[in-house]
Amino acid sequence: MRIVVLGGGLSPERDVSKKSASLIANALIRKGHSVALIDLYEGIENDEPVDYLFKRGADEFTYEIPEEEPDLNELIREHGGRKEWLGPRVIEICKACDCVFVGLHGSHGEDGRMQAVLEAFGIRYTGCGYTGSVIAMDKDLSKRLIHGAGYKTAKWFTAYGSEIAYDRCVNEIGLPFVVKPIGCGSSCGVSIVHSEDEFDAAMAFAERYEQRIIIEQYIKGREITVSILNGKALPITEIIPHEGFYDYKNKYQSGLTTHVCPAELGGVNTERAKKIAEEEFDLLRMSAYGRIDMMFDGEDFWFIEANNLPGMTNTSLLPEAAAKAGIEYEDLCEMIAMKAGKKKHE
């Protein structure tokens, strides 16, 4: 097949996406496909023929994730101040392929907007449709649906930064509490507040993303994630950061976090967690593949958030879980791409 892999973009998760997209492109080339790797924001600014952009048997693409999140304002300055998130010739190139592998994370790529654009042009693509993407990316909306359906989720409220005071957080949620933007992934903008001394810095960190903010009860327990592929749960992973919590640095710098897969939950709890995750995945109108992140307090499984375009890096959770189920990375990427050619989205 001729496949466009979209990565990068104008998102705080740009670097994670570039890493994922590079590895996906390499995997698909190794499986014999013709692949073009395109940055959603940068696009292609020359008039090179589209056919020349697709590579077979080429040198491997490489990208390493820096420890710090990207400076998007600097990126915009480097491109003459252009703020449009859809780069030059992106749609032209996507129309020339059999399917688009959406290797994006964060805004534009994960919140349904890119999926809607692709559907408008009749272009096949991987992952959730635009409906599931919108729901999963909006942490407040997804929690409302999960809570309304009777599943466990941490107590929370959502407001603009100017409406959030420390006393309100303590009175409504209690200590400690989690502060995070409503529509970011990869733990961008996330902090855990244990005392008033930590509050201002946590709010400033979250407000950098210019979104509403969730203040959420901190659930003490074991952090687990259930990867879903074609509606079925893969082996469960427990996430154990060596220091602090599972933040941006711990997620993407090798050696800072231990992943235990399959998680040692016991047979009954393992089946409970898988069943809950599959039901929540379906409830949120997710499809193809994704993850449901939970906390396990020893008795109950608490929904934290859904991830409709999980990372595909060498430290990412879904590829690790797939490998435990006997699905090698190259086969996983090809399976996802092949499904896109047959799937009707919402």
Of 8, 13, 183, 316, catalytic:
13
- Amino acid at position 308, single letter: N
Q: Is 293 a catalytic residue?
A: yes
- 187-190-194-196 Cα dihedral, nearest 10 degrees: 170
Considering 42, 293, 320, 334, which one is annotated as catalytic? 293
Q: Which of 125, 209, 218, 252 is catalytic?
A: 252
- Is residue 150 part of the annotated active site? The answer reads no
Task: Please give the backbone phi and psi of residue 180, each rounded to the nearest 5 degrees, phi first.
Answer: -155, 150
The Cα–Cα gap between 215 and 193 comes to 10
- Annotation marks residue 73 as catalytic: no
Q: What is the DSSP string of 35-58?
A: EEEEETTT---S---GGGG-BSSP
3-state secondary structure of 282: helix
Per annotation, catalytic residue among 20, 186, 250, 316: 186
Q: Is 195 a catalytic residue?
A: no
| H helical segments located in 210-259 | 248-252
Catalytic residue among 14, 26, 311, 316: 311
From the list 22, 34, 187, 307, the catalytic residue is: 307
Read off the amino acid at residue 131: T
- Decide if 218 is catalytic: no
Give the separation between CA 99 and CA 197, rounded to whole angstroms.
50
Q: How far apart are CA 110 and CA 11, in angstroms?
A: 10
Specify whether 41 is catalytic.
Answer: no
Q: Is 197 a catalytic residue?
A: no
Single out the catalytic residue among 291, 308, 329, 334. Answer: 291
Candidates 69, 110, 111, 305; catalytic one:
305
Active site residue 311: yes
Helices 329-340 + 14-30 axis angle, to 10: 90
Residues annotated as part of the active site: 13, 186, 252, 291, 293, 305, 307, 311
